[in-house]
Structure 1
Amino acid sequence: MTGLRVRTFGELSAAELDAWETVRAANPALDSPYFHPGFSAAVHASGRTVHVAVGDDVFVPHHRDGRLLRPAGWPGADFQGPILAAGAGFRPLDLLGNGASGYAFDHLVPDAPGFERWVLSRRPSPYLDVTGGLTGYLGRASKSGKDNMGQARRRAARAERDLGAVRFEADSVDAGALARVIELKRAQYAATGAQDYFAEPDRIKLLEGLLSTRDPGFGGVLSTLRAGPHLLAAHFGLRSGGVLHWWFPVYDPAYAKLSPGWILLRELVAAAPSLGIARIDLGRGEDEYKRRARTGESVVCQGIVTRNPARRWTAAAGTRARAAVRSLRAGRNR
């Protein structure tokens, strides 16, 4: 890598980690918790080695997957890109070498410098502006968002009547509740035919480590919604500064008629000021609830940095095929 030195995360000095966080904190495009050194630290501690390409105030955490490099935390990293100062330049081809022939990304922030020629597609990444809590959010939400939040309030009252007192905890450290989140998420993957993210044990260990991370500037956030003795819904996400990333939301299918996911989201929006949260990133995707709840959206980019035209052509063909499948599914759902 020209001008970049590669070390494992554990080999970085305290001064380098401080520089990483200083650079990140000064660049508004990097306010997502995925760019915080705490995320790479947690991934590395889970047993999956994180390498970091280090330059002058440049840090690119990644994994080696054969001859391919992938962003740290892949495939669970919903925002990706080099950590560097706003306005600084970057040459993505400098990431290649020492046996690496490609750098594949699927959630690259659009402001990442130097990557334009390597982008194959772009997809929306919705968010909720929750400044001012529920009142502020409702003032910015679409009619659909307002309607769903109103329905959530009424369904919470119904849950209280039928199941017992409704209790919401915004920032829980209940390891048993986290285990239930993972159990419900794996059942959801199995029911829908989606790939099981938690089939790899290190990913379970990652969430367990993040749950116990209580750094004031970064950590995991587990939110739970109960009615009587029942866990109706829960969410495990990441928090850095005023940003909360919506990562693993689940609900118990036994209570699907109550739409408990919306009840939980409403409670989390209401609790945002007390948590110091101004934005909830929902992550890439065109899910119906994201479309209804969002107050705005950014985009994330998919592509590959490579000198190999055949590899780029293959990646582009795969991108077109996935886009066609999404379009077909969207047409069926209209």
Structure 2
Amino acid sequence: MMRVVAFDRLGTAELDAWHAMHTGNPALDSPYFHPGFAAAVHASGRAVRVAVAADGALVPHHREGRTLRPVGWPGADFQGPVLAAGTAFRPLDLLGGGAAAYAFDHLLDGTPGFEPWVISRRPSPYLDVTGGLDGYLGRASRSGKDNMAQARRRANKTAREHGELRFEADSTDAASLARVIELKRAQYAATGAQDYFAEPDRVRLLESLLRTRDGSFGGVLSTLHAGPRLLAAHFGLRAGGVLHWWFPVYDPEFARLSPGWMLLRELVAAAPALGVTRIDLGRGEDEYKRRAKTGETQVCQGVVTRNPVRRAAASAATRARTFVRTVRSRTRQ
């Protein structure tokens, strides 16, 4: 059993250890493992608790009834304990104080101790952008090269027809972020997806992250305008050399021009100036991710529990979601 404390009650030594484990364990280089992410989530109004092991391992999480969920759920695209490289971990130690389960849906594959609790795995693509656009093109698939070339041609056409293109890699404009959220909510409504921003604390989270500029962690808002019109934008997280692609949007009126690809091309080109060497696209089999990726990692879905009935129910739900995704994918082909 682990000691559990509120995030804002962690001591300086524990926060220093968290920073050290994040920078010292290459597997944890995602911004979601940075203490700044947990701090921003907690400050947004959603309480973050941290399970602290005797050896210093940390597991930031939320508690919903008797179920524990990774910090930032359901918006966290990488999950798991924060621990030193090579350290063992006992997931069942999380269950105590009335907690009956630790449910995860983006657990980093290979996280120590979790294999018995994994129900399924899905790919999480990424772009190796070392060397910027030239470096990326040297590693990209034929499809990735073709789409980037097409994005360049469409950018030229857009500039002729709609006004000079203006790209800003790291904007701090609050109005542009509000427009990103507005477009994303419209996209959720149009597709029938659950509205992530229906919860006000999630809007506050992005607003807080936009203002976070501590050098090692923060939000990154990238925008692409044609004249006065916002064509496409993206809000993501940055830690060190890793940028996580989180909330991409585009103006539906410009859909035929594939503005998302134009934005991604500009961001890849700007990567060296930003100090970014990898862009994580997050879990999913979206067509643009398949075309753009240079590689992928695996993230796991499952539940840590002593209750076999709960585990069986989670397994059945996962199989049902997999079936629905397969049917939809075949329908689109």
Coarse TM-score class (shorter-chain normalised): over 0.9
Match of 2:108 in 1: 109
Letter of the 2:10 counterpart: L
Write out the 4+ residue segments of structure 1 that deviate beyond 6 Å after TM superposition.
none
What is the DSSP-based 3-state SS (H/G/I as helix, E as strand, rest coil) of the residue aligned with 2:233?
A: strand
Distance in 1, matches of 2:17 and 2:126, equals: 28
User: 2:43 and 2:239 mapped to 1: Cα distance?
Assistant: 19
> Which sections of structure 1, spanning at least 5 residues, go unmatched?
none
Could you state the TM-score of these two structures normalised by the residue count of structure 1?
0.99
Paired residue type of 2:121? R
Q: Tell me how far 1:132 sits from its aligned partner.
A: 0.4
The residue that corresponds to 1:74 in the other structure is 73
Shift of 1:57: 2.0
1:133-179 deviation per Cα after TM superposition (whole angstroms, max 9, x unaligned): 00000010011100100010011111110111100000000000000
Deviations 1:226-252 (A, max 9, x none): 010000000000000000000000000
> 2:278 corresponds to which letter in structure 1?
R
Which secondary structure does the structure 2 equivalent of 1:214 belong to?
Answer: coil
Q: Which amino acid aligns with 2:15?
A: L
Are 1:97 and 2:61 counterparts? Answer: no
1:16 aligned to 14, 17, 30, which one? 14
Aligned to 1:231: 230
Q: For residues 62-105 of structure 1, what are the alpha-carbon distances to aligned partners after superposition, in whole Å with 9 as ceiling and x for unaligned?
A: 00011000000000000001000111100000000101000000
Are 1:23 and 1:57, in contact at CA under 8 Å, matched by a contact in 2? no
| Equivalent residue, structure 2, for 1:32 | 30
Task: Confirm or deny: 8 A CA contact 1:25 1:31 kept in the other structure.
Answer: yes
Using the alignment, how far apart are the partners of 2:7 and 2:25 within structure 1?
A: 21
| Rounded Cα–Cα distance in structure 1 between residues aligned with 2:142 and 2:331 | 24
Q: Aligned pairs, how many?
A: 332
- SS state of the match for residue 331, structure 1? helix
Q: Could you say what secondary structure the match of 1:239 adopts? A: strand
| Local SS of the residue matching 2:74 | coil
Unaligned runs of 5+ in 2: none
Distance in 2 of aligned mates of 1:269 and 1:184: 23
Q: CA RMSD in A?
A: 0.5
Percent identical pairs in the alignment equals 75
Query: 1:1-334 to 2 correspondence within 5 Å?
Result: 2=1, 4-55=2-53, 56-334=55-333
Per-residue CA deviation, residues 262-290 of structure 1 (Å, 9 max, x unaligned), is 00000000000000000000000000000
Q: Please, what TM-score do these two structures have when normalized by structure 2?
A: 0.99
